[in-house]
Structure 1
């Protein structure tokens, strides 16, 4: 198979190229379009924070295809054995969990917290994107701070144009509200 044929067969080739170049992605999630990047790429995360006009101290959400993609960020050893089922039963699904962060997780991801917000998505387009890229993604709503989030690829393109390196076609999951944010160890609902 020649290189051109491989690119046609891989719908995520543009996303992979964007990640390799500190790029930003837009993709449909359960309720709105998300903006994201590789969480290990500080240059890209800082570009995303600037684009969103979002302060670093708030922290960000990571989405993943499965829990194993989050183990570089979640301090799994701090989830008590007797609470593991209660914690992990929420996934895959539209619930973001606030879990203990590994000590080396940078502030630009976790903000002023010793936890990190993570979600194993059940929304197939976003799950396939994370799976194809082999990494979780920073996932924040596609809007600038204070604006309503966008729900179509066209609206994202009109607002951000060349500031986003790759936009995934497709519809959102149709949820009316953003994902619930829950600390499963304390049962505190944060959103």
Structure 2
């Protein structure tokens, strides 16, 4: 598969990306490369898929999950109620490696927000992930591909070692050049919840 940094490739039309999107729409759980590590993803509106993803990771549903999108427009339903200034703050850092905790407005299920009154959202700058979100036509759940307490997978081989045949599809590709997962910031307070 072509390198994800190749700007000439329309990833949203790549056969393997289209296949991943079909798997996601059918309620599947997939692995795909992100900016720094491999991620697990599923359709955020499909509670059963999210709960299966959480079980694979052995992650508590209380912790909440990140939604990743190709552009800010894909996140629009989740951003209703934000001020013009808050939206500009998001736009100033996207696409890029900053995940924002925005006030939850009821559009995301509790299986996404967990125990929190915020929702974690990010617009990716990884071309393959952008293409995947466009092929799926919306944001995806994005969480590191590893069982809780284990190091995040940085290769497809590590994903297979962790999860074997339990995933519905592993999207071919390469992680981006970042050494660390995205920084997480609170939109209202501006505090950094996790350094990048």
Fold shared, TM-score > 0.5 on shorter chain: yes
The reply to whether residue 126 of structure 1 matches residue 115 of structure 2 is no
The reply to whether residue 35 of structure 1 matches residue 35 of structure 2 is no
Query: What displacement does 1:12 show?
Result: 2.1
Aligned Cα root-mean-square deviation (Å): 1.6
| Partner residue, 2:51 | 46
Normalised to the residue count of structure 2, the TM-score between the two structures is 0.87
Counterpart-to-counterpart distance in 1, 2:31 and 2:126: 15
The reply to whether residue 13 of structure 1 matches residue 18 of structure 2 is yes
Normalised to the residue count of structure 1, the TM-score between the two structures is 0.89
Counterpart-to-counterpart distance in 1, 2:167 and 2:61: 20
Q: 1:76 touches 1:100 (CA, 8 Å); kept in 2?
A: no
* 1:100-119 matches, cutoff 5 A: 100-119=103-122
Query: What displacement does 1:112 show?
Result: 1.1
Of 36, 46, 68, which aligns to 1:63?
A: 68
The reply to whether residue 174 of structure 1 matches residue 177 of structure 2 is yes
Bigger Cα displacement from structure 2, 37-46 vs 169-178: 169-178
Gaps of 5+ in 2: 1-12
Query: What displacement does 1:45 show?
Result: 0.2
State the number of aligned residues. 182
Inter-CA distance 82–118: structure 2 relative to 1 (3 Å threshold): closer
Counterpart-to-counterpart distance in 2, 1:43 and 1:168: 21
Flag the structure with larger Rg. 1
